[in-house]
Amino acid sequence: MRHLTAADIKNFERIYRLNLVNGLPGFKPANLVGTAAPDGATNLAVFSSALHLGSDPALLGIVTRPTTVPRHTYQNLKSSGCYTLNHVPMALATQAHYTSADFGPEISEFEECGFTAVYRDDFPAPYVAESALSIGLRLREELAIHNGTVLLVGTVEHVYLREEGLRDDGTLDLAALGTACISGLDGYHEVLPPVRFGYARPGQPPVAQ
């Protein structure tokens, strides 16, 4: 087995290090973050950092890269207070990846990358019509990480999902929705149906359902 130390990682060439470290968390969720500027210009960017922070109230986090250069997603969600997370459909991985290109603020990644912006229920941020599951969030809190990245904590205000993705017990069938997941900064994966287990209790080895 290969052993890499912190010193090895520090000494790697920049892109090699970036590739390696981005893969370390394992498979990550694939979301498109939709926002709008005060003048109505829309913005869309692929993010793999979405994470669950609590269910009651429903809280999700995303991590934005250092805001030392203009980050349109960050600027927009700061000004409107709202943003959307939209699951990346595996069938649209190519377009989703394209949203990560450094487009100018005057260019909407919705149009440029082939997604449709839809506004729902008076929410100020655009959703992706092609996504099987979309979430409307309001920025609640910003937590600065010492390396310049920022954890943005949002409260879930709206969820829209296709019926086939919601099981009777409230769990989501993400495979049925065709949602992709991400490895590193370059891999998009189709997902197989899961092996599922009930609530684990000591002394009761889980049995697949």
Ligand X SMILES: Cc1cc2nc3c(=O)[nH]c(=O)nc-3n(C[C@H](O)[C@H](O)[C@H](O)COP(=O)(O)O)c2cc1C
Residues of the shown chain interacting with ligand X in the complex, contacts defined by CB under 6 A? 43, 45-49, 63-65, 71-73, 97, 100, 102, 182, 185
Beta carbons of 44 and 113 less than 8 angstroms apart: yes
Beta carbons of 52 and 70 less than 8 angstroms apart: no
Buried-exposed string 37-54: b where 16+ CB fall within 10 A, e elsewhere: beeeebbbbbbbbbeeee
By beta-carbon proximity to ligand X, the closer residue of 43 and 86 is 43
Q: How far apart are CA 209 and CA 207, in angstroms?
A: 6
By beta-carbon proximity to ligand X, the closer residue of 54 and 105 is 105
Instruction: Output the smallest distance, CB 112 to ligand X, in A.
Output: 11
Instruction: Output the smallest distance, CB 206 to ligand X, in A.
Output: 31
Instruction: Output the smallest distance, CB 100 to ligand X, in A.
Output: 4
The sign of the torsion formed by the CA atoms of 22, 172, 43, 83 equals negative
Beta carbons of 172 and 161 less than 8 angstroms apart: yes
Rounded (5°) CA angle 119-107-147? 90
By beta-carbon proximity to ligand X, the closer residue of 112 and 173 is 112
Instruction: Output the smallest distance, CB 85 to ligand X, in A.
Output: 11
Instruction: Output the smallest distance, CB 139 to ligand X, in A.
Output: 14
By beta-carbon proximity to ligand X, the closer residue of 71 and 158 is 71
By beta-carbon proximity to ligand X, the closer residue of 96 and 177 is 96
